[in-house]
Amino acid sequence: MKKLLFIPIFIALIGSCSFFQAQNKKVTHDFVDLGSLGSSSVSRSTELGTMKRVEKNMPNEFDIRLVDPAIKQKWGLALTDSRKAWERHKVLGSRDIVVAVIDTGIDIAHPDLKDNLWKNKRELKGKPGVDDDNNGYVDDYYGWNFVSNNNDLKDNHGHGTHIAGIIGAVGGNGIGISGVAPRVSLMALKYYDPKAAGRNNLMNTVRALKYAIDQGVDVINYSGGGLEPSPAEKKLIEEAHRKGILIVAAAGNEKSNSDIHGYYPADYDFNNIISVTA
């Protein structure tokens, strides 16, 4: 029987303890946090998933005196005992941990996110208009827009930016809030845009998954899903499993038993998937 996590409305980075320990990584704390948006069937819409905090066992500077003005308003940090975890483990995260956010895009100019964006260094140091890293994507500085097939990561919905902030808004910069992982690298992979015509969300999802896996991310947070499985998607999830990549997937808003009525990719039978619903 598929294990389903029922978690309230707020997220950050997640980890399956036994799975990540087997990958020589250390799970420092389990967090709960976030809820859901609407979904479609096989065409895939967008949902909110849930994650736990995972990081490599690496030294890092620590300063618990986060001065972000709205941090006390973020009740999710108190609910998840985030501050206690930071104090206990003397760490606020690591930018060596890369989280792919497959969602509606990210506001890459957001003052509370821009310093925690994943950066494709070969492209940033290369020539504009040239695929400097030969991965098939030109100028993919911070990720890719699979809806329009370009590097415009503009978030026309707001959901992806929200999720990115919950996961990894910069902590201690005196701006806004702090994410559960105040230091992390957020890769923006846009698969859904409410303004786009002729959407193919499943194809975009598959391409985004492949991109994240090829880049060797640590965690993939996917806020979508559908009622029909996809062989191409399943094959990529299996590849992620072999490579030790954790998948955090929404379990849907259908209010049904997913052991009877599957929701994918959350219901693929791989132990690197954490299936989450509100």
List the domain boundaries for the chain.
Answer: 5-277
- Which residue do the tokens 């303890």 mark? 17
Domain 5-277: what homologous superfamily? Peptidase S8/S53 domain (3.40.50.200)
| pLDDT tens sequence across 195-214 | 876 568 999 999 999 999 99
| Amino acid in position 194 | P
pLDDT tens digits for range 24-45: 555 444 433 334 343 433 455 5
Whole-model pTM: value is 0.76
pLDDT surpassing 60 at residue 7:
no
pLDDT at 2 over 70: no
pLDDT bracket for residue 152 (50, 70, 90): very high
